[in-house]
């Protein structure tokens, strides 16, 4: 059994750790609320882009646009979203595991893979893996990404796809389902596509609308906005998921610290009681010896 002095030091150390994890839990909870609100607002913007493309498809052949044309996949580019910091549970490992599985599947199909990494954790992992073509690394995104932050990534994937250097572009990110449920998603952004909701009432017809400068220019702009919002939304979902998982991780750490403190306190009290009992026995024995 450890001495009472050692137990006191261990209890003090665990209490200090508990204070740190509790503070990190509160900070993550505050950031999570803001990130969740931003992610939910972004979903409406993404839906508006899909709705606009569905209506434009009625006045022009969208599938003839270069960014919508599908072709056999020989080169695949992944955009992987991880965090810059740890202590977020399985957040980074889940994303990296999904990426590793996708790359392994590509190798079996003889598809060449390249990666654009967002976040230091993903970059650290890929630097240790041989045979991976890292196109770019972005590790300076804030918790509130803007269109200017996303623009270099958007330009890269559009240029590579139109030049036929890649045949498909996917985003691997963590979707925020709820504060306690986050899932890794693999979303194809190029070739571009759009969703239609059959239950959604259609907007006004565009057949009699005059487009300036032309319907193709409008389609070009809306398509870029769709790609931009998909990357932006993936970032918002990932940030909300990261903070949710960090909050839960720190809460579990705080709860574990509380249990350890209780166990050490019980052990400390037992050791102190044993020491007192021993001292009393020695005093009693000394008194009997004097008699």
Which is it for strands 182-190 and 133-138: parallel, antiparallel or unpaired?
Answer: unpaired
Residue 145 falls inside a structural domain: yes
Residue 100 falls inside a structural domain: yes
- Domain at 263, CATH number: 1.10.287.80
Residue 85 falls inside a structural domain: yes
Residue 214 falls inside a structural domain: yes
Identify whether residues 92 and 154 lie together within a single domain.
yes
Give 61-95 pLDDT, tens digit per residue. 666 677 777 888 888 899 998 888 877 778 888 88
Identify whether residues 13 and 155 lie together within a single domain.
no
Identify whether residues 85 and 119 lie together within a single domain.
yes
Distance CA 100, CA 285 (A): 70
User: Block means of pLDDT (10 residues each) for the chain, length 291 residues?
Assistant: 76 86 84 78 67 59 72 88 82 87 87 87 80 82 79 88 87 84 84 62 51 64 79 86 85 87 85 75 71 66
Domain count, the chain: 2
Residue 280 falls inside a structural domain: yes
How high is the pLDDT of residue 200? 46
Give 105-131 pLDDT, tens digit per residue. 888 888 888 888 988 888 888 887 777
Identify whether residues 65 and 187 lie together within a single domain.
yes
Cα dihedral sign for 96, 98, 103, 107? Answer: positive
Residue 186 DSSP SS3:
strand
Residue 203 falls inside a structural domain: no
Strand partners, 118: 81, 138
Residue 133 falls inside a structural domain: yes
Q: At what angle do helices 215-290 and 147-162 cross, to 10 degrees?
A: 120
Identify whether residues 241 and 280 lie together within a single domain.
no
How high is the pLDDT of residue 238? 86
The pTM for the full model equals 0.77
Identify whether residues 165 and 265 lie together within a single domain.
no
Identify whether residues 273 and 155 lie together within a single domain.
no
Distance CA 7, CA 25 (A): 26
Identify whether residues 158 and 51 lie together within a single domain.
yes
Identify whether residues 242 and 254 lie together within a single domain.
no
Identify whether residues 12 and 33 lie together within a single domain.
no
Strand partners, 77: 114, 169
How high is the pLDDT of residue 201? 43
Residue 291 falls inside a structural domain: no
Cα dihedral sign for 97, 102, 105, 106? Answer: negative
Q: Rg (Cα) of the chain, in Å, rounded?
A: 28
Identify whether residues 53 and 106 lie together within a single domain.
yes
Domain of residue 275 covers: 4-23+250-286
How far from 6 is each of 3, 38, 256, 271, 275, CA to CA, in Å? 5, 48, 20, 11, 14
Identify whether residues 133 and 256 lie together within a single domain.
no
Cα dihedral sign for 143, 146, 148, 154? Answer: positive
- Domain at 135, CATH number: 3.40.1380.10
């Amino acid at each position: 059994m450890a001495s009472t002095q050692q137990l006191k030091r261990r209890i003090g150390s665990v209490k200090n750790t508990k204070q740190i994890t509790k503070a990190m839990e509160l900070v993550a909870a505050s950031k999570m609320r803001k990130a969740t609100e931003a992610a939910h607002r972004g979903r409406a913007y993404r839906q508006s882009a899909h709705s606009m493309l569905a209506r434009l498809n009625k006045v022009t052949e969208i599938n003839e646009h270069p960014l919508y044309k599908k072709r056999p996949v020989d080169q695949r580019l992944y955009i992987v979203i991880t965090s810059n910091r740890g202590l977020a549970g399985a957040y980074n490992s889940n994303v990296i595991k999904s990426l590793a599985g996708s790359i392994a599947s590509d190798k079996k199909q003889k598809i060449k893979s390249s990666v654009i990494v967002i976040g230091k954790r993903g970059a650290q992992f890929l630097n240790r893996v041989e045979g991976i073509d890292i196109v770019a690394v972005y590790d300076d995104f804030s918790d509130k990404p803007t269109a200017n932050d996303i623009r270099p990534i958007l330009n890269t994937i559009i240029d590579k796809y139109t030049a036929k250097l890649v045949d498909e572009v996917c985003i691997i990110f963590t979707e925020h389902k709820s504060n306690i449920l986050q899932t890794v998603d693999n979303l194809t952004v190029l070739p571009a596509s759009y969703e239609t909701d059959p239950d959604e009432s259609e907007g006004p017809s565009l057949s009699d609308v005059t487009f300036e400068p032309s319907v193709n220019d409008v389609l070009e702009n809306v398509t870029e906005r769709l790609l931009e919002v998909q990357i932006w939304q993936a970032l918002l979902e990932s940030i909300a998921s990261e903070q949710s998982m960090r909050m839960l991780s720190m809460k579990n750490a705080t709860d574990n610290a509380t249990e350890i403190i209780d166990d050490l306190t019980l052990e400390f009290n037992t050791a102190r009681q044993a020491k007192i009992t021993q001292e009393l026995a020695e005093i009693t024995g000394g008194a009997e010896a004097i008699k």
